[in-house]
Structure 1
Amino acid sequence: MSRLSIYIVHRLTPESLQGFCQKRVNSDSIRSILKEFKPWRVLYNERLYSAWQIAIVIILLIALSGNLAAQNLESIGKGDAITLSGGINVNQVFYQANGVEDRRDPYNYFLSGNLNLSLYGWSVPVSFSYSNQNASFQQPFNQYGMSPTYKWVTAHLGYRSMTFSKYTLNGHLFLGAGLELTPSEKVKVAVMYGRLQKEVELDTTQVGNLPAYRRMGGGAKVTLGGNSHSVDFSFFKAADDDQSLKTDLGTIEIFPEENFVLGMGLSSTLFKNLSFKGEVAYSAISTNTQSLGVEADHVYNKLSFAFQPRVSSSYYTAMNAALQYQFEKSTFGVAYERVDPGYRTLGAYYFNNDLESIALTHSSQWLNQRLSVSARGGLQRNNLDNQEMNSMNRWSGSLSLNYQVTPKIVTTANYSNFSTVVNFRTPEQQYNQVTPYDNLDTLNYQQISQNASLGVNFMLGQNKERRQNLNMNMAYQQSAEEQGGESKNMGSKYYNLNSSYSMSLQPSSLILSLSGNVNVSEAATNRSLIYGPSLSTRKTLGEKKASVMGSISYNVSETNDKLNSSVLNLRLGGNYALREKHQFNLNITAVNRYTPNNDTQRQFREFVAELGYNFNFSSQ
């Protein structure tokens, strides 16, 4: 144990911590209290910025942010004062190729770890990752963060992600701080603020340079109610800093953006078996914060303190709702969703917009729960504002069955049918047509896709010495197109068949597996076939402290009955556990590929070796 950690355990006694936390503090008294608290003063004066110090300081700052009383520290003096656990993982990857140019770096390393510090009920998890493979990325990959937790308080510090709703803040990574409070089952609060995007300067000498402004954002969500009835309100705001770059990106038509979103969700059990759930969000976004400010005929015009309407501003709405009724053995429901064209927020990476869908759902169980049925069918359309050159209407339906024939035989069957109708309109047709019936069906086409699968699993035998299992799966897919009521092409068909057999010998801790697969794809002029077997084995050694494994597979690819390629893949590996805390593993892969139609790279080999080490520790 380091000198710093020994000092903390010695000076951070239950009496001193409890007496310190009994003080009711505010922002004006923090400075004086920190001076009185001796462990903090020592850490501050010595300037020892170690992982221990950072964790302790963060714990103290969180404690100071509220008015903690003695009843919040009931565990003081009970059990260990400080417990520490975590792990470190190191992986090295070596690569070599013969007969072809290297398709990856010859050497890469990956370092990751986690640390959890617990202090009288406080939990402070810290994680980090680092790799030389991502050194050229413009956005940060090597990230560090922690989420300390104590009872109903959770803080997020460093690189973290949070979610308010599907349409507001949804899993976006940020560098900053967040807080989640659940003082009771009927009250939940979440807040966050941080950097959503790092600034990237324009550099024309770099290939793939994507300049960007620094983007900061923050928001909050409050949920009131329990399982039967609840309502939540949320807001999220993000804006680019137009002063974060030395270069004016307006010359390449990249402008700073601003976004403000309001959201509301509702969940309620209307009757005993009838439930409702829905949410709605309003997003205002300016694609250029340097454009002229205006007065907009919109609710956001009254919220100018949070969002300034501009010439470049747009306003969108997104909503969804679901109604479900539960019978004794079945459930019926209806789901609806509508997202305006162009809807997006700066708190999410991707949105499906310009869509409206409605669907009916059903699930039930029969034959003493041996048969399960799940079905869904509905309609989806786009071009909600009639501004696009084409519109789409898609019917979709799916059916899933799961049937246990006997305790040793289980079958599954799935079917789905998706029908898409696309109506193309050229600009001339859009502006010159006299009636809605002009050019009817001339450029319309329908795309149909059908999917079906069947699976059977057999348990051939199971006893103390031997276990055997046989699994078979079949899949079929077909797609076709129609235009003006006539078939335009034969579409494509896809068949897949795979089967596997496994045997486990309990006394010798040996597992053997044999499998094979066949894939056939048929199009108008081409027919491709891929097939091949594979064999694998795994053996546990030394009272389950070590294991070795190996596998070999061979796959052949043909196009129109002519050999396209053949691939032989060999894998060997092993792992060893030392005193339950140290894990060593080694994996080696060799691939031999033969392509007779490639004159420059007819045959080549690749070799990959991975050496890893994992260390887990705990002070308990």
Structure 2
Amino acid sequence: MDIRGIGYAVSGIEPRRSPLSYIISGNATVTVKGLALPFSFQFSEQQRDFRQPFNQFGVSPTYKWIRVHLGYRSLSYSRYTLDGHQFLGAGIDLTPGKFRFSAMWGRFLKAVQEDTTKQQQQHNNNFPYAAYDRYGYGIKLGYGTPANFFDLSFFKAKDRESSVRNNPVEQYVQPGENAGIGLRTHLSFLKRLTLDVDAGVSAYTRDTRADLVSAEETPLVNFAKGILTPRVSTSIYYAGDATLQYRDRQFGLALKYGYILPDYKTMGMYYMQTDVERVTLIPSFNNKKNTFQVRASVGKEHDNLQRKKLARTDRLVGSFNCNVSPKPHYGISLSYSNYGITQKPGLKSLSDTTRLDQVTHSIVATPRYTWQRSSSIHTFVFVFCDQTLNDNNKLNTQHFNMTTVNNTLSYSVFLNGSGVGINASAYKVNTKVSVGVTTSTGGTLGLSKNLLKNRLSSAAGVNYSINTFAGANDGSTLQLNTNHVLAAGRRNRFRADLVYTLNNSKSGALNRSFHELLVTIGYSYQF
């Protein structure tokens, strides 16, 4: 169980959080004669003015091959039907032998009435967003083991129109309905090959008040009628992905393919990138001693799958990661990524001034060295990071090109006898954009120590940087922080954190001058 009280104060800028807040949360598992009762809960004062409930409690007791879900829970049947969306309700999982069964029912959204008076007073959109009560259920049937299984799932949810007293005026919110079928499988064969497939079909009605469909009977219409009421606002989508992978002790190779129709959606997930077809090849290798590891990825994706957009966007995606550790005390990590976006004509030809043509790449190098003695451990780490966005469009080049270079050298030492830790770093961050060059140069210094026979862990640090803009001094930023953790017995922990930030801006080009204080007091109990 964890209890935290948070105090906040700021001057010079708009507050970024509430002056006083608290969070009470916990996770625990109680076992009684083979019956496991894992439960979780979360409470916060934000319930008074939050778009959806923040106070939560849930439990998932388990006995042998039976598991029950009660309260606020989340389940995943398929990426394209029910995938991790939190609900308030009940569910059950049955796994006797190779048989796999799961079912759930609950509320996915709580109704929120539109407050037009509050909206007119707050023009920054910081007000509750209207929503209908949304209830749904899901069923999953499957057979197999973790190495080889086949699952078929069905999910359906619908908004209750009567849960909102008046139709939202300022916010365009409609009561919807959704039903979908998902298929998920994992197969292992020939010892080193695996195949993963996840696919789904979703029928989504954006407005249940729309007219009924009176079109000629078609296979799609018949499918929709079997699981929901087809209306003129109903659309049917399909999507899926597959991964074929080979893996042995040293070498791996994976081929991934994904296809998601535009606007694919289901009420059982929060968000998904749609209108995309992608192919990705992922090789990997590590030597026998595991001192050399490399992993790469190269792929291509594009949108405009239904050829209804004015242009098609192609993306070239590539990455490379390498870790070399000849000896345990030194090594280097290297990574490189490159993402290219181009457009091809769709319904309308493109001119050089409107065509999207961007390339983003980043390079990160991190050499490290550790020097260990009987009384102390010294560690040196250097980080170089170069990130660049190049816009090849003639009209946008001067506005959107951006380069950021970060150089950081850090050193830390731990004194074994006294339990004292010291860390220091120096950095320089240079960002070049169309309006000028911004530079932040500074350093950090930190100290940590265990006290009271290691029952109290205390640390303090300071970060100071000098900022420049277009070659001129633009002030400085000072940040002080301290944190303390006290162990009272084996199960009790008390914690206190403080962060103070003083930003001094001379020109106001980057940001304004402000003072900010954040204090956190906490208590935790480990069962």
Fold agreement, TM-score > 0.5:
yes
Separation in 1 of the partners of 2:226 and 2:259? 29
Q: Tell me which amino acid in the other structure corresponds to 1:206.
A: K
Separation in 1 of the partners of 2:362 and 2:140? 41
Residue aligned with 2:222, SS: helix
Cα distance, 1:442–1:468 mapped onto 2, change above 3 Å: closer
Question: What fraction of aligned residue pairs are identical, expressed as a percent?
Answer: 28
Could you state the TM-score of these two structures normalised by the residue count of structure 1? 0.78
- In the TM superposition, residue 442 of structure 1 has moved relative to its aligned partner by 6.9
Q: Tell me which amino acid in the other structure corresponds to 1:577.
A: A
* Aligned partner of 1:216 among 135, 156, 159: 135
Q: Tell me which amino acid in the other structure corresponds to 2:366.
A: G
Alignment correspondent of 2:122: none
Q: Tell me which amino acid in the other structure corresponds to 2:390.
A: A
Alignment correspondent of 1:158: 71
Residue aligned with 2:81, SS: coil
Are the aligned partners of 1:382 and 1:391 in contact in 2 as well (CA < 8 Å)? yes
* Structure 1 unaligned regions, length at least 5: 1-86, 431-437
Cα distance, 1:516–1:254 mapped onto 2, change above 3 Å: same
Whichever structure has more strand as a proportion of its residues is 2
Q: How many residues align?
A: 517
* Aligned partner of 1:124 among 23, 27, 37: 37
Cα distance, 1:224–1:408 mapped onto 2, change above 3 Å: same
Separation in 2 of the partners of 1:482 and 1:523? 15
Alignment correspondent of 1:377: 298
Q: Tell me which amino acid in the other structure corresponds to 1:403.
A: V
* Aligned partner of 1:201 among 93, 108, 113: 113
Separation in 2 of the partners of 1:352 and 1:590? 38
Q: Establish whether residue 147 from structure 1 lines up as the match of residue 68 from structure 2.
A: no
Residue aligned with 1:455, SS: strand
Separation in 2 of the partners of 1:359 and 1:190? 32
Alignment correspondent of 1:612: 522
Separation in 2 of the partners of 1:409 and 1:251? 60
Alignment correspondent of 1:345: 266
- In the TM superposition, residue 592 of structure 1 has moved relative to its aligned partner by 2.1
Q: Tell me which amino acid in the other structure corresponds to 1:148.
A: P
Q: Establish whether residue 91 from structure 1 lines up as the match of residue 12 from structure 2.
A: no
Alignment correspondent of 1:550: 460
Q: Establish whether residue 307 from structure 1 lines up as the match of residue 228 from structure 2.
A: yes
Separation in 2 of the partners of 1:477 and 1:126? 43
- In the TM superposition, residue 519 of structure 1 has moved relative to its aligned partner by 0.8
Q: Tell me which amino acid in the other structure corresponds to 1:340.
A: L
Alignment correspondent of 1:364: 285
Separation in 2 of the partners of 1:598 and 1:324? 53
Residue aligned with 2:312, SS: strand
Q: Tell me which amino acid in the other structure corresponds to 1:210.
A: Y
Separation in 2 of the partners of 1:595 and 1:125? 50
Compare 484-493 and 283-292 and name the one that shifted more: 484-493
* Structure 2 unaligned regions, length at least 5: 120-126
Alignment correspondent of 1:265: 184
CA deviations over 1:537-558 (Å, ceiling 9, x no partner): 1111122111221111102221
Q: In angstroms, what is the RMSD of aligned CA positions? A: 2.6
- In the TM superposition, residue 103 of structure 1 has moved relative to its aligned partner by 4.8
Alignment correspondent of 1:326: 247
Task: State how 1:117-516 maps to structure 2 within 5 Å.
Answer: 117-184=30-97, 186-207=98-119, 208-249=127-168, 253-294=172-213, 296-299=217-220, 301-302=222-223, 304-326=225-247, 329-366=250-287, 368-423=289-344, 430=348, 443-463=354-374, 465-483=375-393, 491-516=401-426
Could you state the TM-score of these two structures normalised by the residue count of structure 2? 0.91
Return the index of the structure with the highest Cα Rg.
1
Alignment correspondent of 1:11: none
CA deviations over 1:124-165 (Å, ceiling 9, x no partner): 233322222442113101111111111221111111111111
Separation in 2 of the partners of 1:451 and 1:242? 49
Are the aligned partners of 1:194 and 1:216 in contact in 2 as well (CA < 8 Å)? yes
- In the TM superposition, residue 485 of structure 1 has moved relative to its aligned partner by 12
CA deviations over 1:436-461 (Å, ceiling 9, x no partner): xx667674342111211111110122
Q: Tell me which amino acid in the other structure corresponds to 1:223.
A: G
Are the aligned partners of 2:50 and 2:128 in contact in 1 as well (CA < 8 Å)? no
Separation in 1 of the partners of 2:388 and 2:88? 46
Are the aligned partners of 1:423 and 1:443 in contact in 2 as well (CA < 8 Å)? no
Cα distance, 1:401–1:311 mapped onto 2, change above 3 Å: same
